[in-house]
Structure 1
Amino acid sequence: MHARVAAASTAALLGGAVLILPTSPAHSVTGSGGPVVVSHRGASAYAPENTLAAIDKADDMGFRWVENDVQRTRDGVLVVIHDDTLTRTTNVEEVYPRRSPWKVKDFTAKEIARLDAGSWFGRRYAGAHVPTLEQYMNRVSRNHQKLVMEIKNPELYPGIERQTLKLLNNAGWLDADHLRNRLIVQSFSPASVRTVHNLRPGVKTALLGTPSVADLPAYAEFTDQINSSYTSISTGYVAAIHAFDGPHGKPLEILTWTVNDTAAARRVAGYDVDGVITNRPDVVRRALSAY
């Protein structure tokens, strides 16, 4: 174990009472020296989450990084939606009243395309659709945005990692520039993250959650980031993450979620996180610029 790893691990176990900074620069997500702001499911406080409208809103507000969730339909089409059911963010119960429990995996892409994924958020977004991942990538590319992509519920969709990477490749997102600067693939499933890394080692990956410091060496073999809820981290824990080198020879990073107010944004910036995932990117940007 490196000396900086041992020291940072001790700090984490002490609840952040001691801060040992890593010997390598932490903020390599953007190279800016400060936390990057990532629009969670697009600018989801201002437009319906995971829709094209939400990433367009983030673009209009001047935010380059967006985050999304990927699942798969019954006929094998990748779509962008957070829940494994369609009920919360679409009118599926009205359109298909006899199809309970309305799981994404039980509907074809054509059936999902019929749904209204915007009216729940507000009348002005009536008629917005659940986008396919192909449609979503076309829009992100058009907007010159960068993407944190979550593979959601991979246990429901065997082979989704390979399928996702194939689509990304076809969309031009696995070239050197995108791999270096514009793409992160994450999941709550360590097995899914490992699969992505094994299939395409050049892809920057992230494990969602707050694993113990003792488990970090194993995860650092195949993930570049540990992306944790802001309520579960401390200065010491972030220092412990930064003390380990990931599979590309750089210190592990942390993007923390879901930070939506000024106080929380300033608190996690004080922890030295690399990025903040937020529904309200404008609020976080103001908080960090004045910090």
Structure 2
Amino acid sequence: MHARAVAASTSALLGTAALLFPVSPAAAAPGTGTAPLVIAHRGASAYAPENTLAAVDKAAELGIGWVENDVQRTRDGALVVLHDDNLRRTTDAEEVFPGRAPWKVKDFTAAEIARLDAGSWFGPAYAGARVPTLEQFVHRVERHHQKLLLEIKNPELYPGIEQQTLKVLSNEGWLDRAHLEGRLIMQSFSAGSVRTVHELKPGVKTGFLGTPRVADLSVYAGFTDQINPSYSTLSRAYVSSVQALDGPHGRPLEVFTWTVDEAATAQRVAGYGVDGIITNRPDAVREAVGG
């Protein structure tokens, strides 16, 4: 996830309330008695190449139960796990396909993407790592008995990706009762995409990535279970405003904030009462907040 610019009205709303409150290293969400969940952003991406199976394995090695990923679609309709809408930053696409600029994911087939090295950019120990398909990724998450926070990336580029993602998840056994009740959340920066997921499969827990105005939260509560903002936009007052509303499943809206890598920041947002913290360094954040 990239930090998105916050609307001026939202900034004004949050600015006066964004006070810093020191908290203890084992900060629990106020009133819950529990520390926030810790979610490994693109896998344990501080220690292994993001969105690869190696990053899932590293999160499991660290004892992290939740993994976040990003899903996009290839030219021939396969779903692959990759953050950027192009292949340049995290693969060797420029070398393998020098005449295919700007190397957009949607312009390559699944077989072509499967040829790319998605690990060498991170370090020689990961040379030869591949861009996983969504099927491969959920198999690995399942192997480790982990839980998945799945982001539909750039849905405007991939019409119908919500239904397709749900179909893959269904085929892989991820839409049964056990997964829906505690092992799967689907999120997006697109409110329309989140609404579509909710309408297609009401049982799926959903999250909206962003910081809507407090006045608009009741609208979001009709189709999303979470409001998931950048930590830089958060205040205790905003978190409380979100959690005061019930979502579509009759439970209070939750807040998962991103992307928090520093202990002091993790302690601060835990003190605000967030329900989850998305981080590249899940071990460090877990130690900081007791999650």
The normalised TM-score by structure 1 is 0.90
After the TM superposition, which residues 167-182 of structure 1 pair with which residues of structure 2 at under 5 Å, given as runs? Answer: 167-182=168-183
Aligned to 1:3: none
SS in 2 for 1:277: strand
* RMSD between aligned residues: 1.8
SS in 1 for 2:181: helix
Aligned to 1:128: 129
Whichever residue aligns with residue 287 of structure 1, its letter is A
SS in 2 for 1:178: helix
Whichever residue aligns with residue 270 of structure 2, its letter is A
Deviation of 1:207 after TM superposition, in Å, equals 0.2
After the TM superposition, which residues 222-241 of structure 1 pair with which residues of structure 2 at under 5 Å, given as runs? Answer: 222-241=223-242
2:11 corresponds to 1:15: no
Aligned to 2:45: 44
Aligned to 1:4: none
Task: Determine the C-alpha separation between the residues in 2 that align with 1:236 and 1:142.
Answer: 39
Deviation of 1:139 after TM superposition, in Å, equals 0.7
Aligned residues: 270
Task: Determine the C-alpha separation between the residues in 2 that align with 1:12 and 1:255.
Answer: 17
After the TM superposition, which residues 183-262 of structure 1 pair with which residues of structure 2 at under 5 Å, given as runs? Answer: 183-262=184-263
Whichever residue aligns with residue 63 of structure 1, its letter is I
Task: Determine the C-alpha separation between the residues in 2 that align with 1:93 and 1:233.
Answer: 38
Deviation of 1:289 after TM superposition, in Å, equals 2.5
SS in 1 for 2:287: helix
Residue-by-residue CA offset, 1:63-117 (whole Å, 9 max, x unaligned): 0100000000000000000000000000000000000000000000000000000
Deviation of 1:13 after TM superposition, in Å, equals 8.2
- Distance change >3 Å, CA 45–CA 155, structure 1 → 2: same
Residue-by-residue CA offset, 1:34-69 (whole Å, 9 max, x unaligned): 200000000000000000000000001100100000
- Where structure 1 has 5 or more consecutive residues not aligned to the other structure, the ranges are 1-10, 18-25
2:164 corresponds to 1:143: no
Q: Which runs of 4+ in 1 moved over 6 A?
A: none
Alpha-carbon contact 1:45-1:280 (below 8 Å) kept: yes
Task: Determine the C-alpha separation between the residues in 2 that align with 1:115 and 1:180.
Answer: 36
Task: Determine the C-alpha separation between the residues in 1 that align with 2:148 and 2:78.
Answer: 19
Residue-by-residue CA offset, 1:222-252 (whole Å, 9 max, x unaligned): 0000000000110000000001100000000
Alpha-carbon contact 1:12-1:240 (below 8 Å) kept: no
Task: Determine the C-alpha separation between the residues in 2 that align with 1:13 and 1:265.
Answer: 19
Aligned to 1:70: 71
Alpha-carbon contact 1:260-1:279 (below 8 Å) kept: yes
- Distance change >3 Å, CA 86–CA 12, structure 1 → 2: closer
Whichever residue aligns with residue 115 of structure 2, its letter is R
Aligned to 1:106: 107
- Distance change >3 Å, CA 86–CA 32, structure 1 → 2: farther
Deviation of 1:33 after TM superposition, in Å, equals 2.2
After the TM superposition, which residues 18-37 of structure 1 pair with which residues of structure 2 at under 5 Å, given as runs? Answer: 33-37=34-38
Deviation of 1:14 after TM superposition, in Å, equals 5.2
SS in 2 for 1:181: coil
Alpha-carbon contact 1:12-1:239 (below 8 Å) kept: no
Task: Determine the C-alpha separation between the residues in 2 that align with 1:13 and 1:54.
Answer: 36
2:157 corresponds to 1:156: yes
Task: Determine the C-alpha separation between the residues in 2 that align with 1:286 and 1:224.
Answer: 27
